[in-house]
Structures are given as C-alpha cells and as structure tokens.
C-alpha cells in the first residue's frame, strides 16, 4: 500500500498532511520544524537551549523534545496545533490572545501544554556568507505578534502576584502611553526603561521558559545547495529573546532629537505592555503598537543580522549542525517532498540557469 505524505512524528494535528495545501511555504515553515524536533528526539539529540545567564550573558544548555512539548514527541496523546490562538494568555491581554506557530495539546484531555513562535532561518545570511564558517549567522526577523507573545510570557510570571511589579514600575506605574508617543518624550526615559527591564529580567532568571524555536538550515555559502551537515534546532527562552533587541546602547538616556530605532521601539512597547499589566491586570497590545510607532513602519518589530546572532548563538552546533541532508528523507515521508511548492522567484531562476549566460 502506498504511504501517504507525512512528516515524522506528527500523527495528530490540525493540518492534513496528505493534502497539497498543507505543504505551502508558510505552513511547511512551522510543520517541518516540529517534525525535525520529534526526529532529533527519537535519535537522542536535544535542541540547543539559549537561556539568560548571570551578568546579562547567554548560556547554552540543551532541552529535550519531551521537556519542550511536555509529552514525548511521539506520544499518541500529543496533538500538534499550528497557527493557533494561545488561550492560556487570554486573561493577560485585552486583545485576542497571541497566535502561536506551534501549540501542543493533549489529545485525550484537551489540555494546552505549551505554545511557541517558530523562526526557520538560513545559515549563513547576507551579512555573513563571505566570512569563515565559524562566523556564519542567521538573520532573525521578528514581527509584532512575537512582542505581544513575549509580553504575555513575562506578564504570566506575575499573574498571581501582580503587586510584586510595584518595585519596578513604582506606585502608580509610568502613567498613560499618550505621554510617550514622541521620541522627544520617551528618549529621556530610555535609560530608566532599560534599567527597569534589566532588573526584572535578572530577578526572574529561575523562572524563564522556552518561547521561540529557531531551526537553522545551512547551505554552501550563498549557493542554493544544502551543506552536508545542514539542520539543527535552537530554542530561545523568553528572557534570552530580549537580548536580540535590548542593546547595551539603550542604557543611557537619548538626546530628544534622536529618532527611535526598531529594537529600541520593541523595548519601549514591551515595557509599556508590562506597565499596563501592572496597573490594571491586562494590556492593550493593539493600542500600544498603534500609538508607540515613532514614525517607524509597523511591517515588522525588528530584524537582527547574522553578525549579531552569531555572537549569541556561537557553538559547535552552529558551525556543524547535527542533522545531515541524507536524514531529511527520515523526516519528510511518503513522497511529501513532491507536494512542496516553493515561491518561484525570477532571481532564483536566473541564478540556476547558468546556460543563459
């Protein structure tokens, strides 16, 4: 009997992998990473876990698939729900709860086990492909919903003891966001905002939890060819994730005339979501995103180049990912690769049509 198209380990999910539309680019980018983690778990390889350590540094550990998914990835009770509203965060936000790329549920009890953002990234990126391999890095693009999700993740630490946030935000909080909509209003406070957020993070190192799953796929430089060792998975904790935009330069108050850049804007938005949560027990992410734009477009929160991510992620697994290209056939099953429909880009077609030139 012919095997149906499938992905390793994903037995129960809200996507029918036997159908072509489940293999489109946007869907494949979240389903494949889940299957990759299940496969790695089955052969005893744990994703690299990036956690915030003491002294504002990133620590590298490992996290098992079972710890990440709260059940063994191959457990028959595990249900993979892709692009789903993460209901456990509903009470923290006035808006719809953040949608996550991957939500894990118990099929038998309907319990929601965990939810994650998934960022499938290429190694090397445009900024590192000319460097030596140990300096390769992946660009990470962060969208607004990820900031909403992060704010909920941090707020959830204080769900049952909101008054503990008083030590960071003061008796009445920082007041209404309408007082901080211009760069000239917020710049003098940037140093305070950075210090408060840094203190909050430092005090909660023991409560950090996995938040973002970042699989990497490695090519031969810029060529559209997979490296021999081409796949691995990194997981960022919610606190480690803040290192992508909480740059040391934001420690000092900025001159009132300096424009607010994207990473600093993300810090300000996160700060005011937590400030609102402290004042009233929930926050309005949509209102904050609309009012605290600082004339920067809202198409994305920010992006971080491979030169910067390399400094945070550098390890043996980044230089030599542990899963080889031969193993991909153990993850994409039943002829699923035939249902893939990548974007047809003119530049890609030209680059692969050397005979034209």
- The 10s digit of each residue's pLDDT in 40-92 is 999 999 999 999 998 889 999 999 999 999 999 999 999 999 999 999 999 99
**pLDDT score, position 349:** 78
Is residue 8 left, alpha or beta, with left meaning phi > 0 and alpha meaning psi from -120 to 50? beta
DSSP annotation string for 125-193:
-TTTTTS-GGG----EEE-HHHHHHHHHHHHHHTTT-GGGGHHHH-TTTT--GGGGSSHHHHGGGHHHH
Give me the residue spans of the domains in the chain.
6-343
**pLDDT score, position 1:** 42
pLDDT average, residue stretch 150-162: 96
**pLDDT score, position 257:** 78
Q: How far is it, in rounded angstroms, from Cα 17 to Cα 241?
A: 31
Task: Using pLDDT thresholds of 50, 70 and 90, give the confidence band for residue 281.
Answer: very high
**pLDDT score, position 170:** 84
Q: In whole numbers, what is the pLDDT of the chain averaged over residues?
A: 93
**pLDDT score, position 180:** 92
Using a pLDDT cut of 70, give the percent of the chain over it: 97
Q: Looking at the predicted structure, is the pLDDT value of residue 340 above 80? A: yes
pLDDT average, residue stretch 136-154: 96
Q: Looking at the predicted structure, is the pLDDT value of residue 251 above 80? A: no
């Amino acid at each position: 009997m012919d095997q149906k198209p499938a992905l390793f380990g994903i037995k129960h999910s809200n996507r029918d992998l036997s159908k072509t539309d489940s293999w489109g680019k946007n869907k494949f980018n979240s389903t494949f990473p889940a299957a990759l983690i299940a496969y790695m778990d089955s052969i005893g390889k744990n994703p690299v876990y990036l956690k915030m350590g003491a002294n504002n540094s990133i620590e590298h550990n490992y996290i098992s698939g079972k710890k990440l998914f709260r059940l063994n990835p191959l457990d028959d009770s595990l249900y993979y729900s892709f692009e789903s509203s993460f209901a456990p965060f509903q009470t923290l936000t006035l808006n719809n709860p953040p949608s996550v790329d991957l939500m894990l549920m118990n099929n038998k009890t309907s319990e929601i086990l965990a939810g994650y953002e998934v960022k499938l990234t290429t190694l090397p990126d445009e900024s590192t492909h000319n460097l030596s391999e140990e300096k390769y890095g992946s660009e990470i693009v962060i969208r607004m919903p990820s900031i909403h999700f992060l704010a909920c993740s941090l707020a959830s630490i204080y769900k049952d003891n909101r008054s503990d946030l008083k030590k960071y935000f003061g008796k009445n909080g920082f007041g209404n966001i309408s007082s901080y909509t211009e760069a000239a209003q917020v710049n003098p406070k940037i140093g305070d905002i950075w210090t408060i957020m840094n203190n909050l993070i430092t005090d909660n190192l023991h409560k950090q939890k996995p938040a973002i799953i970042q699989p990497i796929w490695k090519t031969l430089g810029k060529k559209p060819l997979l490296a021999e060792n081409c796949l691995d998975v990194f997981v960022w904790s919610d606190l480690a994730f803040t290192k992508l935009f909480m740059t040391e330069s934001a420690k000092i108050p900025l001159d009132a005339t300096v424009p607010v850049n994207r990473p600093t804007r993300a810090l300000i938005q996160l700060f005011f979501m937590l400030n609102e949560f402290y004042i009233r027990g929930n926050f309005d992410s949509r209102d904050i995103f609309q009012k605290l734009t600082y004339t920067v477009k809202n198409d994305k929160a920010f992006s971080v180049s491979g030169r910067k991510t390399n400094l945070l992620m550098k390890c043996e697994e980044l230089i030599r990912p542990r899963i080889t290209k031969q193993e991909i056939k153990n993850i994409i099953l039943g002829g699923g690769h035939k249902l893939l429909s990548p974007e047809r880009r003119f530049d890609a077609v030209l680059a692969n049509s050397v005979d034209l030139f």
